[in-house]
């Protein structure tokens, strides 16, 4: 393979090269692998060269010859330069095989000797390039890699295009990248026409916020607050080059931007996006500065801010490509968000303040007026601080907690040292708004900064609580905070209530002690009542109620009623740890799915209105869980995925959302994805020391393993859950609903006795608590135990009853699983003789019903299981061998059934399907049969049967 030395890449492609481009990369790679060509296109900085290098490295290793060129704007006037890059190193290899005229023209063009040009030697040169590529291709595939096609010198571009259009049927492929501004741009059309007919055009678009965060993390900027990452994404427009440059500028800046200000834009990007700024008039530039300072600039707003000729000046900027041309849109929109940020960063400080001062009176929205007033003011000013605090409260009421946090920080900045409320109190309020908005990094930074200065106990305790809150399920990492918080609280019941409420959470998450958690919550509620802190009292009662619900404690209904009594606090009513959430959990566990759905839907609607990200993540999961219980697997999967996206974007509740999404994927999506998510959730829970979610995550893993056909894995996972919940004191089987899956998996691996033990222990608690759906699922599992033991009639009756009860309760997926189990039982052939036509008809009808029910649920993985069972071919059984069964009396029930089916001629897979066990269990059972009968293989079992018949 021929590769120019100065274009060689590292031996392995770094994984961050294609962040956010995995699907596009895979499509382009498949296109190359099939023999086609690829044209990557998109705006400057979007990552074309990065993807091109990764593709060239991966695919280039599989071809014989790689030819490369990478043009630059400064060299685009030099004729044949790109052609020299491509063919210079292979000239000696191809020249002897070219006709004399072609060889002379090509050597003249590549070496610079002579006066070769397209005008004089056009045909000879064109044919020479085509012949050279064909000559190389005769020895193996050729990959032509050309970056920045827009800068190719015109002569090279013409020659390469001529050859490319005539290479059909020849193993020569092009991998090119070109800068374009739009899908319909003339540049795109021109370069695509110059490529082979089978070229796949791949446009690279902007990265998502999560992808930008991943990119920054890979490049060493992963410690930036999420609010800053969000602003980088907005300012960069998802352009990876712009995002990295902004991240680097922030990392190098000694002071972060003030709240509400645009990001600092490095000089490199200013030059890139503001190259046309000098062509604007002075007045037009001032108008654009005012527009860049505004949140939603319009011509009317610019007029009100004193820019009398705004329309004409904006039109001038639009002609230069600085503003987007949208005749029907009232807003003034920059062609790229970075232009606005760079323009603002380029302006002197006094001009920026003047722009904000003008907008502080021109803006119609009180929040915008207050923000501009703050950015136009230097130093402290109590009037400005009060206006900002009022604007923050208004933003909070509007459901914009992130805006409220920014305004709160501005209010603290402008609050005098002796102001009331004080600077620290306003900062802490801003931190609490940041938590609501899901910006936990910002909240933690604010709280720790307050702790370095605050001396007032109330401020210090409040800051400690914020530090604990932002730890989430990693509370073990902030253990040292609790003694300090208790010391600062002294004997103040209001402050002590705040700390003991957090201690209740610690007992549950870190220690896994439900009894201690319940007692700590009850104590916190008592302290809060004494201190007349109704909000903390309600949160503590709700926490106590949820703990009692999970424990199966008889006081749970009474505690929920106490938490729902008036007066209520609107901040708690829809909080994810409030009484509404506790009531929802009670309804779900009590099989009241319709009311549970209505409750959680209302809660979700309210938290979205308020902008509470953590609560939104929580209630999205709750609604997904309700839909999953009801058998609406498609809807549940959509909601679960939405919850997971939001959790990962905000960094809140990732473990719980991964766990719930795993359940939804295993029921209605992709089983491999379900397994990966469950293992991720288990890993996070173990790493965080979160005992409560570890059992839930293991339950999800066990279910995914069951659906994936790995009952042994299910047993390993769910046995751990059983031990964990026994230690935690969780007795309500409706909490995780894993008991039926464990029993079914135990049957499949040939452990019916342990399965029955699980069923009996769980049934006792389900009867005590009135968990009807759990009882029906346990009956379904017990029917499988009976079927495995040969009691078919009892299994039929129990499965039929379980299916009917689950349907009436509204558990669609569990009902379908019962129907599937019934179909498999009907589909089993007797140990001797063929199945009667009537039995075959009933079996087919049973499978049709199971298929219909799974399809109604959109339970795709379960539908695939039905297909797998039906794909097992029917075989004519061997002759009846009743005498042979006498020789099997030394075997256990399961062993006898397996041996009898071997005598019929059934394969291991067929036996597994008929007996509801795994193939591995069949193999293990046969090993025990061989040992007990003193034989070596299944052939000996058949011989044993034949010997009995011969007597």
Which carries the bigger pLDDT value, residue 99 or residue 3?
99
Q: Give the model confidence (pLDDT) of 289-328 as tens digits.
A: 999 998 889 999 999 999 999 999 998 888 888 888 665 5
* pLDDT band with cut points at 50, 70 and 90 for residue 827: confident
Exposed, middle or buried, 115 (CB in 10 Å: 0-12/13-18/19+)? exposed
Mean pLDDT in residue range 204-208: 90
pLDDT of residue 6: 34
> CA angle, corner 802, sides to 857 and 852, nearest 5?
30
Q: Is the pLDDT of residue 886 over 70?
A: no
Q: Give the model confidence (pLDDT) of 89-119 as tens digits.
A: 888 888 889 888 888 888 888 876 555 555 5
Q: Is the pLDDT of residue 387 over 90?
A: yes
Distance (Å, whole) CA 302 – CA 322: 17
Q: What percent of the chain has pLDDT over 90?
A: 48
- Min mean pLDDT across 115-129, 136-150, 377-391 is at 115-129
Mean pLDDT in residue range 222-238: 81
pLDDT of residue 883: 47
User: How far does Cα 209 stand from its chain's mean position?
Assistant: 12
**Burial state string for 455-488 with b = 16 or more CB within 10 A and e = fewer than 16:** eeebbbbbbbbbbbbbbbbbbeebeebbeebbeb
Q: Is the pLDDT of residue 407 over 70?
A: yes
pLDDT of residue 878: 40
Hunting for tokens 């645009």 — which residue is that?
262
* pLDDT band with cut points at 50, 70 and 90 for residue 414: very high
* C-alpha count within 13 angstroms, C-beta hemisphere, residue 780: 30
Mean pLDDT in residue range 366-380: 92
Average pLDDT of the residues of the chain: 86
Q: Is the pLDDT of residue 747 over 60?
A: yes
Q: Name the pairing type of β-strands 65-70 and 37-42.
A: unpaired
- State both tokens at 111: 């070496």
- State both tokens at 110: 């590549």
- CA torsion sign, 434 to 439 to 440 to 446? negative
> CA angle, corner 678, sides to 598 and 685, nearest 5?
90
- DSSP-assigned letters across all residues of 140-157: S-EEEEEE-GGGS-HHHH
pLDDT of residue 189: 66
* pLDDT band with cut points at 50, 70 and 90 for residue 541: very high
> CA angle, corner 682, sides to 678 and 688, nearest 5?
145
Greatest mean pLDDT among 8-22, 152-166, 555-569, 632-646 lies in: 632-646
Q: Give the model confidence (pLDDT) of 658-717 as tens digits.
A: 999 999 999 999 999 999 999 999 998 888 878 778 999 999 999 999 999 999 999 999
pTM tops 0.75, yes or no:
no
Mean pLDDT in residue range 519-530: 96
Q: Is the pLDDT of residue 917 over 80?
A: no
- State both tokens at 696: 């839930």
Q: Give the model confidence (pLDDT) of 443-460 as tens digits.
A: 999 999 999 999 999 999
Mean pLDDT in residue range 517-542: 95
CA-based max dimension of the chain: 114
Q: Is the pLDDT of residue 830 over 80?
A: no
Are the CB atoms for 615 and 656 separated by under 8 Å? no
pLDDT of residue 428: 97
């Amino acid at each position: 393979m021929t590769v120019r030395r100065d274009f060689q890449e590292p031996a392995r492609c770094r994984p961050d090269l294609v962040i956010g481009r995995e699907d596009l990369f895979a499509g382009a790679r498949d296109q190359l692998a099939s023999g086609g060509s690829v044209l990557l296109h998109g705006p400057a900085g979007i990552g074309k060269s990065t993807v091109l290098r990764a593709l060239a490295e991966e695919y280039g290793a599989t071809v014989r010859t790689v030819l490369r060129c990478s043009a630059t704007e400064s060299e685009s006037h030099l004729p044949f330069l790109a052609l020299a890059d491509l063919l210079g190193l292979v000239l000696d290899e191809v020249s002897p095989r070219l006709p004399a005229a072609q060889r002379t023209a090509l050597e003249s063009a590549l070496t610079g000797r002579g006066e070769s040009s397209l005008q004089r030697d056009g045909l000879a040169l064109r044919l020479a390039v085509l012949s050279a590529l064909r000559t190389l291709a005769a020895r193996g595939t050729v990959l032509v890699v050309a970056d920045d096609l827009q800068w190719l010198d015109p002569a090279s571009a013409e020659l390469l295009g001529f050859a490319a259009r005539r290479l059909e049927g020849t193993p020569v492929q092009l991998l090119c990248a070109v800068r374009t501004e739009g899908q319909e741009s003339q540049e795109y059309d021109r370069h695509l026409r110059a490529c082979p007919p089978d070229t796949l055009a791949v446009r690279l678009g902007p990265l998502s916020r999560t992808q930008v965060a991943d990119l920054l993390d890979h490049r060493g900027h992963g410690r930036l607050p999420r609010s800053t990452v969000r602003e980088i994404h907005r300012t960069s427009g998802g352009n990876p080059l712009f995002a990295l440059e902004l991240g680097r500028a922030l990392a190098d800046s000694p002071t972060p931007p003030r709240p509400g200000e645009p990001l600092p834009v490095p000089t490199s990007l200013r030059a890139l996006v503001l190259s046309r700024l000098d062509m604007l008039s002075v007045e037009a530039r001032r108008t654009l500065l005012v527009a860049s300072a505004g949140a939603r600039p319009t011509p009317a707003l610019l007029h009100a801010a004193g820019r009398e000729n705004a329309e004409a000046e904006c039109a001038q900027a639009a002609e230069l490509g600085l503003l987007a041309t949208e005749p029907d849109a009232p807003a003034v929109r920059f062609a790229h968000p970075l232009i606005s940020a760079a323009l603002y960063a380029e302006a002197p400080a006094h001009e920026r303040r003047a722009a904000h001062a003008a907008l502080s009176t021109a803006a119609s929205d009180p929040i915008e007026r207050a923000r501009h007033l703050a950015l136009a003011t230097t130093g402290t000013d109590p009037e400005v601080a009060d206006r900002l605090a009022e604007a923050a409260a208004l933003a909070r009421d509007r459901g914009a907690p992130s805006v409220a946090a920014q305004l709160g920080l501005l209010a603290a900045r402008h609050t005098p040292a002796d102001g009331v409320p004080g600077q620290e109190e306003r900062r802490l309020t801003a931190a609490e708004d940041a938590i609501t908005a899901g910006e936990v990094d910002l909240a933690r930074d604010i709280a720790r900064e307050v702790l370095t200065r605050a001396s007032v106990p109330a401020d210090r305790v409040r800051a400690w609580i914020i530090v604990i809150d932002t730890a989430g399920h990693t509370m073990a990492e902030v253990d040292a905070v609790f003694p300090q918080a208790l010391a600062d609280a002294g004997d103040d019941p209001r402050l002590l209530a705040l700390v003991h409420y957090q201690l209740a959470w610690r007992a549950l998450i870190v220690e896994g002690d439900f009894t201690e958690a319940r007692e700590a919550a009850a104590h916190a509620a008592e302290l809060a009542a004494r201190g007349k802190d109704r909000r903390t009292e309600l949160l503590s009662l709700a926490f106590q109620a949820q703990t009692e619900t999970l424990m199966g404690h008889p006081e749970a209904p009474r505690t929920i009623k106490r938490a729902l009594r008036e007066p209520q606090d609107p901040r708690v009513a829809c909080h994810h740890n409030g009484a509404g959430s506790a009531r929802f959990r009670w309804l779900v566990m009590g099989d009241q799915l319709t009311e549970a759905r209505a409750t959680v839907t209302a809660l979700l609607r309210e938290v979205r209105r308020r902008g509470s990200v953590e609560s939104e993540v929580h209630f999205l999961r709750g609604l997904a869980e309700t839909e999953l219980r009801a058998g609406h697997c498609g809807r549940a999967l959509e909601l679960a995925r939405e919850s997971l996206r939001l959790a990962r974007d905000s960094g809140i509740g990732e473990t719980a959302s991964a766990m719930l999404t795993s359940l939804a994927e295993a029921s209605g999506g992709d089983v491999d994805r379900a397994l990966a998510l469950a293992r991720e959730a288990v890993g996070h829970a173990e790493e965080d020391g979160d005992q409560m979610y570890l059992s839930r995550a293991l339950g999800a893993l066990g279910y995914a393993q069951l659906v994936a056909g790995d009952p042994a894995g299910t047993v390993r996972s769910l046995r751990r859950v059983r031990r964990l919940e026994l230690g935690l004191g969780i007795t309500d089987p409706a909490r995780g609903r894993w008991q039926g899956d464990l029993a079914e998996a135990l049957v499949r691996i040939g452990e019916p006795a342990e399965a029955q033990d699980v069923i009996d222990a769980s049934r006792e608690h389900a009867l005590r608590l009135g968990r009807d759906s759990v009882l029906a699922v346990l009956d379904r599992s017990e029917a499988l135990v009976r079927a495995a033991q040969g009691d078919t009639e009892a299994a039929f009756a129990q499965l039929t009853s379980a299916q009917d009860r689950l349907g009436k309760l509204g558990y669609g997926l569990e009902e379908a699983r019962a129907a599937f189990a019934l179909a498999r039982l009907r589909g089993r052939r007797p140990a001797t003789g063929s199945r009667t036509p009537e039995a075959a008809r009933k079996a087919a009808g049973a499978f049709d019903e199971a298929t219909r029910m799974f399809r109604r649920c959109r339970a795709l993985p379960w539908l695939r299981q039905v297909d797998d069972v039906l794909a097992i071919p029917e075989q004519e059984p061997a002759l009846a061998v009743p005498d042979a069964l006498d020789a099997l009396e030394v075997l256990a029930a399961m062993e006898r059934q397996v041996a009898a089916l071997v005598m019929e001629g059934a394969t291991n897979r067929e036996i597994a399907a008929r007996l509801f066990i795994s193939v591995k269990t069949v193999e293990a059972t046969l090993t025990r049969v061989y040992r007990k009968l003193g034989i070596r293989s299944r052939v000996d079992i058949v011989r044993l049967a034949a010997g009995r018949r011969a007597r």
